[in-house]
Amino acid sequence: MEISEQNVKSKAHILCYSFAVQGHLNPILQFCKRLASKGLKVTLVSTISASSKLIKTQSCSPVDVELLDVDLRDIPKTSKECERDETQDYFEHYKTVVAPSLAAFIENQMSSNYPPKFLVYDSIIPWALDITKRFGIDGAPFFTQSWSCNTMYYQFYREKSKVNAFEDQAMVLLPSLPPLKINELPSFLNGSGTYPSLIDLCLNQFSNIEEVNWLFFSSFDKLEEEFGLANFLQPITWMATQLPVKAIGPTIPSKYLDNRLKNDKDYGLNLFKPNTETYLKWLDSKQPASVIYVSFGSLAALEKSQMEEIAWGLKNSNIFFLWVVRESESDKLPKNFSEETSEKGLVVSWCSQLEVLAHESVGCFMTHCGWNSTLEAVSVGVPMVAMPQWTDQPTNAKFIEDVWGVGMRARENGEGIVKREEIAVCIREVMEGERGKEIKRNSKKWKDLAKEAVDEGGSTDKNIQEFVAKLLYM
C-alpha cells in the first residue's frame, strides 16, 4: 500500500538519533531519506561535538538535521587508543550528558505542530528507549553491522559465559551460522579478552530488546540468506524467530541503486572534505577496471610496519592504485613513496568513496571490511581484497570470501602482518586471475540483488512500507 505524502505529513513525524561518527551517521541518514520518500516528516538528531565539523549538502533534503549542544569529550579513534577505563568512562559520560539533552529535545518536539510518534535510535545507546517511554512514544534500535554479526552478539549476550571460551577450539559452531575459525569471529569475541568495555557495549545493544516491536539493520534479506550450506537456518531467518528484525538496506544513496530518490547522490553529511578534482581527473585518465582503490576507513590506524608492507605490495603488483591515507597516517608511508610510484599510483587524504567505487576505472577495492564499506562495494559490484583489522571486520571478510564469493582475504603471517608478497598476489589474482573471473561474476550478481531489494516491491522497500503504514495507526 502506497501512502500519500499529504496524508502522512498530517499525521506522522519520526525522529532518528545517530551516534556522531561517520559510519553510523551515513546509514541512519539514508534510512531517514527512505522514510521521507514515503511522505513522513523526518528529523535526524546527533551531537554537536563531532558533528560541528559536518559538511552538509542538499542531498540531506527533505530530512531535517538537528544537533544537540552537549559537552562531550573526544571519541577514542582506534583500537590502540581504546584503553579500558578511558572507553568505559567516555560512554558513561556520553549517557550522562546526552540523555537529558535528548529528553529535552523530544519534550520540545512534543509541543510542536508535528509531535513525534517514534524514535529510531542508534543501537549502541539502548537507554534511548527509556527516554521515549517517558513521552508515551515508541522506539526501535538501528544496527549498523551485518545481521550475521549481530546474531553472534545476540547469542553471546544470552550466554555471556561463552565470551572468551573458544581459545582452544579449531572451529566455532553457533546457531544459524557457518563454522567459523577463531580469527573469523568479531575481535571482541575471539578469546583475547581485550577491550572488555567495548564487548559490553556490543552485547548491551540487546539489553532491552524484548521491549521493542521493530529492529532495523543495514543490509538486505538475500545477502543475509546466502550460505550455500545445507542444514543451516540463515541468521535473518533464525533471528526472525526470536526478534522482530527488518532489513532496510543497502543504506547507500539512491543514485547507486534504484535511483528513485531525487538528487540522492551522496550521503549528505561528511566529517572530511575530499579533493574531488584531483582524484577524479586521475581516474578519468585510466582504462576501465584497471585501478585498485585502497582505503581503511575513517578510524582505523595501522602500524607503520603494516603501512610499509601495503605500500610495497601495491608497487610490486604493478597495477594502478588510488590510496586514501588520512593526514594523521601519512607519516607512516615509506619515504618518497608517492614520488617513486607517481606513474602508477595516487595517494590522497580523503575522497568520496562511493563516487570512486562506482567509477568505471576501478576494478578492485582493498578494504578493512567495515560494514559500510563492504555494503558499498557489494552494492556497486566491485570485487574486494579483504584486510580486516578488528571489531566485526574479520567476520565480514569471511563472508566476502567464502559466502558471497566477491573477494579474497589477504592473510597475516605468524606475526600478525600481511606481507607485501601476499598483498601483491591477492591484487593480481582478483584483477587478472582465473579466480578473479568468478569473483567478478559474483559481484555483478550481488549488485543486481542489492538494487532489486530497494526497488519498488523489493524486500527492503516492502519492509519500509510496512513500517510506515503501521506508524500511521500508532
Look up residue 374 and give its amino acid. Answer: T
Look up cell 519520526; give the residue. Answer: 14
Is 402 tagged catalytic? no
Is 93 tagged catalytic? no
Could you tell me if 291 and 334 are in contact, meaning their C-beta atoms sit under 8 angstroms apart?
no
For residues 401 and 424, give the distance between their C-alpha atoms in angstroms, rounded to a whole number: 17
Q: What are the CA-CA distances from residue 29 to residues 20, 22, 350, 437 (Å)?
A: 11, 10, 21, 35
Nearest to 250 by CA among 34, 454, 24: 454
Contacts with 444 (C-beta within 8 Å, 6 or more apart), sequence order:
381
* Catalytic option among 13, 24, 359, 368: 24
Look up cell 496524508; give the residue. Answer: 7
* Catalytic option among 13, 122, 264, 368: 122
Q: Kindly report the number of other CB atoms within 10 A of residue 273's CB atom.
A: 10
The phi and psi torsions of 256 (rounded to 5 degrees) equal -95, 5
For the annotated catalytic residues, the residue numbers are 24, 122
